[in-house]
Amino acid sequence: MAYQINLLAWREKEREKYKRRFLLILSFGVLLSVSFQWGWAQYLSLQHSTQVSRNQSLDTHINWLNSELKELNEIGKQHEAILTRLAVVEELQQNRNKTTQLLNLLPGIITEGIYLNKVRMHERSIEIKGFSDSNARLATILDKLERSLEIESVEMHSIVSGKQIFGHDVSSFELSFKLLPMAKGDSHE
């Protein structure tokens, strides 16, 4: 007696089993692929939003720095204006006593026999016109002027002899010099 074995049903079951397993693996692969792509898209979206927030933070900080720079520029301009005013005040302070300085200086320089007709001051330049009863006295004045620590640029412009005033022979002269600014510690007040 011959046995009849039907292997087709078993093969069908195995094929169905392989088919189900293939579909299961395929669907799992598709699901895994879709979830991986979705996760990657979420990650990139998160990175993008993080970068956008960083950029906004940088923009905010840059705007703040720009406003600080504007304020610093304004403060710099105010500082320069104050320094300019301070320089003007300092110059005025140095120049305010130049008349007093000149009047304190002249008695020590002008000796007996020297007579002044005109003393003219323009800023720190001084012009003196007068007459002397001898040229030796004029030489003494020039020597005192050149040795003075408060004067510079002494120039004798002219000496004219042969004039007579009140019956005496005199020499008229013109000289100029510049007063040096007083040192901060010097004060003739």
pLDDT in single tens digits along all 189 residues of the chain:
566 666 667 778 888 899 999 999 999 999 999 999 999 999 999 999 999 999 999 999 999 999 999 999 999 999 999 999 999 888 777 667 777 777 778 888 887 888 888 888 887 788 988 888 877 888 888 888 888 888 888 888 878 877 777 777 788 888 888 887 766 555 444
Amino acid present at 70: K
Distance CA 169, CA 113 (A): 12
Please give the structure tokens belonging to residue 61: 């900080």
Strands of 60-185 (E only): list them.
114-122, 125-132, 151-165, 168-179
Which residues have C-beta within 8 Å of that of residue 151, sequence separation ≥ 6?
A: 105, 145, 177, 178, 179, 180
The domains of the chain are located at: 110-179
So what's the pLDDT on residue 118? 87
pLDDT of amino acid 175: 87
Instruction: Quote the pLDDT of residue 63.
Output: 95
| AA identity, residue 144 | K
Q: Do the beta carbons of residue 120 and residue 102 sit within 8 Å?
A: no
Burial-class residue 3 by CB neighbours within 10 Å (0-12, 13-18, 19+): exposed
Question: Please, are residues 90 and 183 in contact by the beta-carbon 8 Å criterion?
Answer: no
At residue 45, the pLDDT reads: 95
pLDDT tens digits, residue range 62-94?
999 999 999 999 999 999 999 999 998 887 776
pTM (2 d.p.): 0.48
How high is the pLDDT of residue 30?
94
pLDDT at 189: 43
| Burial of residue 21 (number of CB atoms within 10 Å: 0-12, 13-18, 19+) | exposed
Paired tokens of 72: 């610093």
- Mark 171-189 as b/e (b = at least 16 C-beta within 10 Å): bbbbbbbebbbbeeeeeee
Of 120, 117, 127, which Cα lies nearest the Cα of 171? 117
The CATH code of the domain at 110-179 is: 3.30.1360
In tens, the pLDDT along 120-129 reads: 888 778 898 8
